[in-house]
Amino acid sequence: MAIEDGVRAIEDGVQTDFSARMDYGGYLSLDTLLSAQRPISDHHDEPLFITAHQTTELWLKLALHELTAVRGYLDADDVRRARKGLARVKHVFRTITDQWSVLATLTPSEYAEFRGVLGNASGFQSWSYRGIEFVLGNKNERLLPVFEARPEAQDLLAELLGSPTVYDAFLRFLARGGHDVPRHLLDRDVRKAWVEDPALLPVFRTIYEDTEAHWAEYATCEDLVDLEDAVQLWRFRHLRTVQRTIGFKTGTGGSSGVDFLKRALDLTFFPELYTVRSSIGG
């Protein structure tokens, strides 16, 4: 490529006239996206706070999109596509876990100078994250009133509340494949949160003790464990970032803050996949 007066020339084939063509900004709606950061204060660090949360919400929206597709792939016995989707969501959570390090550059004194403008706005009110919790099995109908002021979000969560989870879809996939999944788990009330059931452990023990015969099932089990680990690491990094920024203050949404986030670490989506490890090879 020619360089003239220290300036690199534009290649002949590069498009420069977008008067009648769609450009990058148009495709990505950048006018809308980049104007969505609207600080309420004049504090220098508020744009950081907004950007960190907005980008996280975009990734969470994608993760929910992928997880609902994974559920559909499992229903269709397309385990390869289901595994690809699970891997993608795992990397989404790894990405937003790394993002906490940027927000952690916000010191307690800096955050305190504009925290008041947030009012009661809180990540607790993220409907994309709540949808992910629901589709992975941590369902709670009592949370729906939180979204009454946003009917579309509430409708989305109500639909996910009444739909099978990714785990339900996986167990039904296993049953269709000849595994002896207990009938009461296949017929369970999917509006309820998943609760660990020891009756499922023999199914996973069989899979793990003969991985060659059950490779697709075994690999998908490990994909689910990878995903849960990724979510838990994100939760933990969230806790640590909050703790270093506000200590043990009450959250803006009214939660107990760090203590509330600590309790979330006890939540598990696929408990049997962890419990079964105690009996493998023993």
* Angstrom distance (rounded) from CA 122 to CA 242: 12
User: Is 115 annotated as a binding-site member?
Assistant: yes
- Asked whether the beta carbons of 125 and 135 are under 8 A apart, the reply is no
Read off the amino acid at residue 125: Q
User: Is 142 annotated as a binding-site member?
Assistant: no
User: Is 32 annotated as a binding-site member?
Assistant: no
- Asked whether the beta carbons of 236 and 265 are under 8 A apart, the reply is yes
User: Is 167 annotated as a binding-site member?
Assistant: no
Among the listed residues 162, 12, 115, 133, the one whose alpha carbon sits nearest the alpha carbon of residue 64: 133
**Would you list which residues are annotated within the binding site for substrate?**
111, 115, 252
**Would you list which residues are annotated within the binding site for heme?**
238
**Would you list which residues are annotated within the binding site?**
111, 115, 238, 252
